[in-house]
Amino acid sequence: MYYHYWQLNEFLPEDNLPIYMNYFEPGTHPAMWFFTLDSSKLVFIISGEGEHVVIPEDKNVKENKYVKIKAGDVLAIPPGCTHAYYKTENLELYNLVYDRRKLAIPLLDGYAFPLFYKFFPLKSKFTLDEVSHPVMNLTPDEIAEIRPMLDKLLANISDYRPGGFYESMSIFMRLTHSMGKMRMGDEKKAPTHQYRIGNALFLIERDYFKPLTLDDMAQSTNMSRRNFCRHFRRMTGTSPLQYLFQVRCTRAEELLRNTELSTGEIAIKCGFCDENYFRKIFKKVKHKTPGTFRKELQNIPGGN
């Protein structure tokens, strides 16, 4: 077995679009190579079959999760999930890795598509079943529709030319839109508040290091504080302030992993008023102190 903490920026030139792709011909993907990503990933199984293996985050769960996968399956892997493939002898697949936090995508009413909650999740905690099972299975006709987009996106990313970022972004949006439509079902038109909440999410992702208040967030949606909090929790499963803390702590994780900044410096850069408050919130959100998190990285192959 092989373990690696995979960071998107290691595979991209500076200032590149935060999207990376690779393709594995049948039988070429190594078995039981475990990766933990700092970004989101969509996996498209084009042909063959195998097993998807996920290591549980819950330390009380002792056994890995094995789920059979086959041609047409699409996996949505959130940041922080550690997974691999088993029995890959005839497995053919594409990996599409992207940092949704850095993609300037106007999602608008995209969450009218149920699959967008898988592609661009609003929560940071997931069950083992959520991350291990496919989110959809493409029919042969749907694979035929999707695959040219994957090939074009892969070619664009691999060989940059002027305007390539713009084209790649348009292909990425068309790809996710097409899959969303494929599984739209009988869903009704999205309520206006869904994309209003998107304004608050954008504000948090952009200005997390600033002293944001609940009033600032509510104002960005043109809602009252009460309605804003109610709709925000309904969409994300958490409160606006808890979501802000999650974003700040995720940014703090990146700095703890990739820099030698002190915890005090990281606290200020991530919007916390002081180091003690940062330590308190980080432990509440990540269930360990910043110092413990940094020490544990030293024991993970490829962790630093």
pLDDT digits (tens, 9 = 90+) for 198-234: 788 888 988 999 999 999 999 998 999 999 999 888 7
pLDDT one-digit tens code per residue, 62-114: 789 999 999 999 999 998 899 999 999 999 999 999 988 777 677 667 777 88
Overall pTM surpassing 0.95 (yes/no)? no
pLDDT one-digit tens code per residue, 106-115: 766 777 788 8
DSSP per-residue letters across 164-205: HHHHHHHHHHHHHHHHHHHT-TTPPPPPHHHHHHHHHHHHHH
CATH number of this structure's domain 2-182, picked from the four choices 3.40.50.1110, 3.50.50.60, 1.10.600.10, 2.60.120.280: 2.60.120.280
pLDDT one-digit tens code per residue, 102-146: 776 776 677 778 888 889 887 777 888 889 999 999 999 999 999
**What's the mean pLDDT in 11-15?**
67
Q: Please enumerate in sequence order all residues whose Cβ is within 8 A of that of 50, keeping only pairs 6 or more positions apart, or say none.
A: 31, 68, 69, 85, 86, 87, 88, 89, 90, 91
The yes/no answer on whether domain 192-297 falls in CATH 1.10.630.10 is no
**Tokens describing residue 47:** 């042909």
For the chain, the domains span 2-182, 192-297
Residue 280, pLDDT > 60, answer: yes
